[in-house]
Amino acid sequence: MASNKILGLIFANTNEKNLPELTAYRTTGSVPFGGKYRLIDFPLSNMSNSGINNIGIVTKSNFQSLMDHVGSGSAWDLARRRSGLSILPPYGEHSFASIVETIFNLHGYIEHGDEEYVLISPSDCVYNMDYGKVLDVAEKNNADLTFIYNKRPVAEITDDFRCILDVDDNGKVNKIMASPVDSGEVKLNIGAMLIRKNVLMGLVRQAMSESKYSFVRDVLQKSLDRYRVYACELTGYCEIIGSVKQYYDANMKLMDRDTRYRLFDYKRPIYTKVRDDAPSRYGLNSSVKGSLVAQGCVIDGTVENSIISKGVYIGAGAVVKNCIVMQDCVIGDGAELINIVVDKDVNVSRGSKLQGSLSYPMYIAKRSIV
């Protein structure tokens, strides 16, 4: 891929209204995933692996942990004198009230470079893709807008970042639908798209002049009448994190070896900020089965079918089953946790017993003492 052709734009607060528990103190992009990653790692790594080296991360609120995580972008080879990684915080009370207003207010940043295309990406979608394939589709068809879509159940469509596509056998988009019209499987735009910079800014400026702020209805649907619109299918692993239940299920699927191989392709690694911890230590009476355990943990109890992040302590006689335990939590001796999402820095007291269900996992908020 010609890296100087594309400007990457990642929206860090995507879909946060549907993740109120996980995004109370952080952006969607900062939400931990898989024991050692954050959701922002996936679009950042996809762009870096595809040769895109000018990337802006659009933030709206609660972005302190995001800035700490991405830093200068060195983990993704984006710490450069020219281009590289930029954090784009709000600069007015209503500057990022909608996607349309956000892009309009970022026109100086977007139009400053000489890239021909803008690659827009959400931060709530977990997948591994070479964006060179999308550029190939765009250049082959002289497309002005190229959607990335995944075939999914219609029930998973939740927000203004995504739409349903009617795509013919040649990849041309005939219809863009803002809401479900039937049941079953549909071609869902995952929120990522490659669009010519001048086309994007023209559509956004027109929408703003008419006081219309829906990205799907007032920008994307309007593009069909005036521009060449095509689509590229994402056929590999793809999870959209639209609720705590979907977050829980997506993490639990990582227990499957084939799923991990599909997501963490060694040819296109997923990068993240490295924290230098000692190897995890397991007590003589500990038992760990079917779980993913990050470094820096001390485990003296029983862990089954769970994801344990860095620096977690699990006391003697404690049982953690079907759980996601984030960084630096302390699970006291004899405690029992089943079907629970435990946020960072939680202290579960000795002997406590908490249980959710697989259909509705319990959530323990960050820094709680239980």
The identity of residue 338, as a single letter, is I
Burial class (CB in 10 A: 0-12, 13-18, 19+), 96: buried
Q: Which residue has the tokens 């009448």?
A: 225
Tokens representing 113?
């470079």
Does residue 334 sit within a domain? yes
Model pTM? 0.93
Per-residue pLDDT, 182: 61
Q: Which of 237, 263, 289 is the last residue before a domain boundary?
A: 263
Per-residue pLDDT, 82: 64
Give the whole-angstrom CA distance, residue 15 versus residue 95: 17
Does residue 275 sit within a domain? no
51 contacts: CB under 8 Å, gap ≥ 6: 1, 2, 3, 132
Cβ atoms within 10 Å, residue 203: 24
Instruction: Looking at the structure, tell me whether residues 201 and 324 fall in a common domain.
Output: no
List of the chain residues with pLDDT < 70: 1-3, 81-83, 92-95, 154-160, 180-183
Instruction: Looking at the structure, tell me whether residues 132 and 227 fall in a common domain.
Output: yes
Per-residue pLDDT, 155: 61
Instruction: Looking at the structure, tell me whether residues 192 and 337 fall in a common domain.
Output: no
Instruction: Looking at the structure, tell me whether residues 223 and 345 fall in a common domain.
Output: no
Give the whole-angstrom CA distance, residue 71 versus residue 18: 27
Q: Which of 263, 298, 321 is the last residue before a domain boundary?
A: 263
Give the whole-angstrom CA distance, residue 7 versus residue 111: 10
> Nearest 5 degrees, angle CA 195-CA 30-CA 276?
120
Q: Which of 236, 263, 290 is the last residue before a domain boundary?
A: 263
Per-residue pLDDT, 92: 63
Give the whole-angstrom CA distance, residue 47 versus residue 78: 10
Tokens representing 285?
């009476």
Instruction: Looking at the structure, tell me whether residues 257 and 359 fall in a common domain.
Output: no
Q: What is the domain count for the chain?
A: 2
Comparing CA positions, the residue from 5, 6, 242, 276 lying closest to residue 119 is 6
Instruction: Looking at the structure, tell me whether residues 252 and 296 fall in a common domain.
Output: no
CB 327 within 8 A of CB 347: no
| Domain extent for 335 | 281-364
Give the whole-angstrom CA distance, residue 171 versus residue 155: 24
Q: Which residue has the tokens 């970022």?
A: 106
Comparing CA positions, the residue from 189, 247, 279, 332 lying closest to residue 37 is 247
Give the whole-angstrom CA distance, residue 306 versus residue 301: 13
Give the whole-angstrom CA distance, residue 162 versus residue 8: 18
Per-residue pLDDT, 156: 53
Instruction: Looking at the structure, tell me whether residues 314 and 249 fall in a common domain.
Output: no
CA 269 to chain CA centroid, nearest Å:
16
Does residue 136 sit within a domain? yes
Instruction: Looking at the structure, tell me whether residues 201 and 309 fall in a common domain.
Output: no
Instruction: Looking at the structure, tell me whether residues 178 and 308 fall in a common domain.
Output: no
Per-residue pLDDT, 297: 96
Per-residue pLDDT, 159: 60
Q: What is the CATH number of the domain that holds 19?
A: 3.90.550.10
Per-residue pLDDT, 83: 63
